[in-house]
Amino acid sequence: MGFCVLLALALAGKALLRADPKTIAQAIRLGGGVVLGVVGLLLTLRGLFVVGGPVGLFGLMLLARGLGWQGMPGLGIPGLGSGSASGQGASDVRTRFLDMTLDHSTGEMDGLVREGQFEGRRLSELGFGELDDLLRTCRVEDDDSARLVEAYIARAHPGEAGGREETASSGGERRGPGAGRRGAMPVHEALEILELPDDASDDDVREAYRRLMKKYHPDQGGSAWYAAKLNEAKDALLDR
């Protein structure tokens, strides 16, 4: 029995060496896409969308590339540039603006900006306002890149990438103690979001909030995600 297994492996290896590299690459994309898609679905069904969403997205991208599709009808997901499995427990995908990597074991994702205002910087290095600026640029210039930025925001800042559209679009002022909060934002994070020094006064907070909200409000092309962060930061600092 052991001999038969060894013989089968030897024959498979020999066939693999003779195979067209393009065929091998396609098989890797198909296999990796199916595996990641199933894992992403299972994680999502168990309520772990924060991890399952990005994993499933990368799986769909690899599967689309393996099948040679330019898009995925009915799902609204294009081929998203070039994608591959790195063979080290991670997948990579390239779009016009981003080189993205997803770690299969942890679900962590990060990306290197390839062009534009933030060229050469990683998404994990960008502040909230910078992420929003990048997202706005990608939405205008390249839908594939925009989807990846949105996926990154959903993973790195869970609960902030779309759950507060009503609050943000209404103009920003939340009434009542703790209205709409999931928990108090740390002061240092609130100061970073509002671009304020540690000794900022309440008047400084209100002025910074008005200035940034005027620039990043969804009605001005900003995202509901960042507008909601501005609201939360203002509340956290005024309630100190």
Q: How many CA atoms lie within 13 A of 24 on its CB side?
A: 10
**Residue 197 in domain:** yes
Domain that holds residue 211: 184-238
68 plus 136 within the same structural domain: yes
Domain count, the chain: 2
CATH number of the domain to which 206 belongs: 1.10.287.110
Q: pLDDT, tens digit, for every residue of 217-230?
A: 777 777 777 788 88
If one counts every other C-beta atom within 10 angstroms of the C-beta of residue 135, the result is 22
The verdict on 41 and 134 lying in the same domain is: yes
- Please indicate, yes or no, whether residues 40 and 150 belong to a single structural domain of this protein: yes
Query: Do 142 and 188 belong to one domain?
Result: no
Does 195 map to a domain? yes
pLDDT above 50 (res 102): yes
Cα–Cα distance, 223 to 211 (Å, whole number): 15
In terms of domains, do 136 and 220 share one?
A: no
In a domain, 143, yes or no: yes
Q: Do 119 and 47 reside in the same domain of the chain? A: yes
Tell me whether residue 171 is in a domain.
no
Interval 54-96: pLDDT, tens: 666 666 665 565 555 444 333 334 444 445 445 456 678 889 9
- Contact residues for 72 (Cβ-Cβ < 8 A; gap 6+): 60, 64, 78
d(CA 225, CA 217): 10
* Residues 76, 126 within the same domain: yes
Highest mean pLDDT: which range of 13-22, 68-77, 109-118: 109-118
Q: What is the largest CA-CA distance in the chain?
A: 80
pTM: predicted TM-score of the whole model, two decimal places = 0.47
